[in-house]
Amino acid sequence: MAASLQQVQQTRSQVACNDCHLGELCIPQGLTHCDVERLSNTVRRNRTLRKGEHIYQAGEHYNSIYALKSGTAKLVHMDRMGSESIVSLLLPGELAGFDGVASGRYLCSVVALETVSFCELPSHQIDRLSREMPALYQVILQRTGGKFDECLERMRLLRRPADQRLAAFLLSLSERYRLRGFSHVEFRLTLTRQEIGDHLGLALETVSRMLGQFESAQLIAIEGKLIRILDEEGLQRYSPR
Amino acid sequence: MAASLQQVQQTRSQVACNDCHLGELCIPQGLTHCDVERLSNTVRRNRTLRKGEHIYQAGEHYNSIYALKSGTAKLVHMDRMGSESIVSLLLPGELAGFDGVASGRYLCSVVALETVSFCELPSHQIDRLSREMPALYQVILQRTGGKFDECLERMRLLRRPADQRLAAFLLSLSERYRLRGFSHVEFRLTLTRQEIGDHLGLALETVSRMLGQFESAQLIAIEGKLIRILDEEGLQRYSPR
DNA sequence: CGGCCGCTTGATGAGTGTCAAGCGCCGTGG
DNA sequence: CCACGGCGCTTGACACTCATCAAGCGGCCG
């Protein structure tokens, strides 16, 4: 099967956390070289998925925290009515799985938006290592709390008008790409208009209209899914800091 | 001064966590009697505040997790534009302070809506005890993650129509009062219409109108701030799920 | 008693969702 | 190779929810 062959190759090219290009973006932030070494030994590395496949699904038992290594994914919360809310867009180096910490079951699903690779950190290893490494305990707790902070920020956005939501979304994406060494001026949206709408609480038509509006105002240039930011300050004037 | 006299009395009537009427609602959930004992010794107890005073304010250093013991308070996130968003309404036994875990500074403020008493659990004690008590580590992590879950639930609500938001709010309040041994049929709103609006992302006029609408539909009875739930199932028909 | 605050109620308009039509692109299958 | 169909996107017309503005009422406190 093609998938398993691919996995074998990936396994061969495993990279220890200390050598990972993501560095501090991922969990190692604030840990000593030695601590990272120990952490690294418990990580299941470089598993890959293709577009549309899921890392985990809502309802499954909470087993692990996941670190996205390459590609993008969406963290999705399904409404009972079938309408999905996209809690966040995950870029390389970002972590997922915290929605399972409290209840022991994941509340959301993580779905690959393109081919992705990711690492897996089993929760029992986290618990074990946290006991021995206070710094790891701090990191895990802070990352968990950080998800709450992100949520607050998102809620603040959700009650602003559509143009401000979209401007903030684009600027946030730009900044996050910059932190990861990609261009912050030009990047490809891996979300459809519908998905951007699901993320921002807007209809896809509104997203399309607002993008068009930004383009006519010379703030951005659009070529399909490719976005080029022409006037960052202009966008910032929308976004209430 | 009346306040300090009151505080002396409160100090005298201190209650160890094991004897606290809140029991499992607060942190002790899942801890052994002995663990709670140790925890109890590090807790600063029964401090009181009057309406309008704050337990902590946005921007202050993260020092402690707080447990509300009696009274109600609001967890408030200030927008730069002065408009405030009420992240949550805190009832007795509920915890606050997790908005400071990630960044080391509180993002929100906690303001008393009436006279409140509360306990304080210093963060350095949490860190110290967590290392020795795996169960406490679990509880703290789960509570932190739980705040994220609450946030998700709230965001789901925020994109539903006004009547559904209000119905869900009332039902949630009712349920939480029930868990605390109060009547779930009749309770007093400690929030003004404006504050309910800030919580649900609505104008105060809309809140007032929707309440009126529920009253004419015989779902609730209103006497100022006193709410009586007449038809719980009727309300649930609004609330999705 | 007067003034402020919290609340209700009404009138109006803006911002968006919804519905509908059409276009271009891509993959599929004839 | 081309025709077809589906999907993602754009654009327009319309409806509707809800915010805003405004007025007035009752209660509480100074």
CB atoms within 10 A of CB A79: 14
Same domain assignment for residues B208 and B186: yes
Same domain assignment for residues A82 and A167: no
Q: CATH no. for residue A170? A: 1.10.10.10
B95 and B173 Cβ atoms separated by less than 8 Å: no
Same domain assignment for residues A61 and A167: no
Of A126, A157, A188, the one marking the end of a domain is A157
Strand, helix or coil for residue B131: helix
- Closest by CA to B31, choosing from B98, B117, B121, B105, is B121
Query: Is residue A94 assigned to a domain?
Result: yes
How far apart (Å, rounded) are the C-alpha atoms in residues B140 and A102? 10
A99 touches chain B (CB under 8 A): yes
pLDDT greater than 70 at residue B63? yes
pLDDT greater than 80 at residue A50? yes
Q: What is the pLDDT of residue A13?
A: 53
- The C-alpha angle A147, A107, A45, rounded to 5 degrees, equals 70
A69: tokens are: 């290594």
Q: What is the pLDDT of residue B239?
A: 81
Which residue shows structure tokens 């807790």? Answer: B43
pLDDT greater than 90 at residue B22? no
- pLDDT, tens digit, 9 for 90 and up, residues A75-92: 999 887 667 899 999 999
Same domain assignment for residues B25 and B133: yes
For chain A, give the percent of residues with pLDDT over 70.
Answer: 93
For chain A, give the percent of residues with pLDDT over 90.
Answer: 77
B82: tokens are: 């002065």
pLDDT greater than 80 at residue B222? yes
B141 touches chain A (CB under 8 A): yes
Distance from CA of B143 to the nearest CA of A (A): 6
- pLDDT, tens digit, 9 for 90 and up, residues B151-168: 999 999 999 999 999 999
Count Cα atoms within 13 angstroms, Cβ side, for B49.
18
Q: What is the pLDDT of residue A239?
A: 81
Of B135, B157, B179, the one marking the end of a domain is B157
Same domain assignment for residues A230 and A202: yes
pLDDT greater than 90 at residue A119? yes
Query: Is residue B1 assigned to a domain?
Result: no
Cβ neighbours for A159, distance < 8 A, ≥ 6 positions apart: B85, B158, B201
**pLDDT band at B2, cuts 50/70/90?**
very low
Of A116, A139, A157, the one marking the end of a domain is A157
pLDDT greater than 80 at residue B80? no
- pLDDT, tens digit, 9 for 90 and up, residues A158-174: 999 999 999 999 999 99
A237 touches chain B (CB under 8 A): no
Q: What is the pLDDT of residue B241?
A: 66
Rounded distance in angstroms from the CA atom of residue B87 to the C1' atom of nucleotide C23: 44
Q: Strand C proximity: list residues 200-239 of B with CB under 7 Å.
A: 204-205, 207-209, 211-212, 222, 224-225
- Closest by CA to B114, choosing from B175, B190, B47, is B190
| pLDDT average, residue stretch A105-111 | 97
Q: What is the pLDDT of residue A29?
A: 84
Q: What is the pLDDT of residue A241?
A: 63
Cβ neighbours for A179, distance < 8 A, ≥ 6 positions apart: A25
Same domain assignment for residues B129 and B216: no
Q: CATH no. for residue A128? A: 2.60.120.10
Same domain assignment for residues A71 and A148: yes
pLDDT greater than 60 at residue B50? yes
> In a 10 Å sphere around its CB, with 0-12 CB exposed, 13-18 middle and 19+ buried, how is residue B135 labelled?
middle
A94: tokens are: 């970002």
Query: Is residue B6 assigned to a domain?
Result: no
For chain B, give the percent of residues with pLDDT over 70.
Answer: 93
B120 and A80 Cβ atoms separated by less than 8 Å: no
Q: Helix A123-132 to helix A134-158 angle, to the nearest 10 degrees? A: 120
**E runs forming strands in chain B:** 44-49, 54-56, 64-70, 73-78, 84-90, 95-96, 109-112, 116-122, 186-188, 220-223, 226-229
- pLDDT, tens digit, 9 for 90 and up, residues B170-218: 999 999 999 999 999 999 999 999 999 999 999 999 999 999 999 999 9
Q: Which residue has the higher pLDDT, A222 or B239?
A: A222
CB spacing of A151 vs B156 below 8 angstroms = no
How far apart (Å, rounded) are the C-alpha atoms in residues A194 and A161? 18
Q: What is the pLDDT of residue A20?
A: 87
| pLDDT average, residue stretch B36-57 | 92
Q: Strand D proximity: list residues 207-236 of A with CB under 7 Å.
A: 207-209, 211-212, 222, 224-225
How far apart (Å, rounded) are the C-alpha atoms in residues A50 and B170? 43
Q: What is the pLDDT of residue B13?
A: 53
Identify which of A71-85, A226-240, B81-95, B184-198 has the greatest average pLDDT.
B184-198
Cα separations in angstroms, B179 against A116, B22, B183: 44, 10, 9
Number of domains into which chain B is organized:
2
Residue B153's region, left for phi above 0, alpha for psi from -120 to 50, else beta, is alpha
Cα separations in angstroms, A66 against A99, A108, A134, B105, B227: 11, 13, 20, 27, 45
Least confident of A46-60, B77-91, B119-133, B162-176: B77-91
Average pLDDT over chain B reads 91
CB spacing of A127 vs B149 below 8 angstroms = no
| pLDDT average, residue stretch B4-23 | 65
Show the domain range for A126.
12-157
B74: tokens are: 């609001």
Q: What is the pLDDT of residue B4?
A: 47
Same domain assignment for residues B101 and B131: yes
pLDDT greater than 60 at residue B64? yes
- The C-alpha angle A16, A17, A23, rounded to 5 degrees, equals 135
Query: Is residue A4 assigned to a domain?
Result: no
> In a 10 Å sphere around its CB, with 0-12 CB exposed, 13-18 middle and 19+ buried, how is residue A180 labelled?
middle
Query: Is residue B2 assigned to a domain?
Result: no
Average pLDDT over chain A reads 91
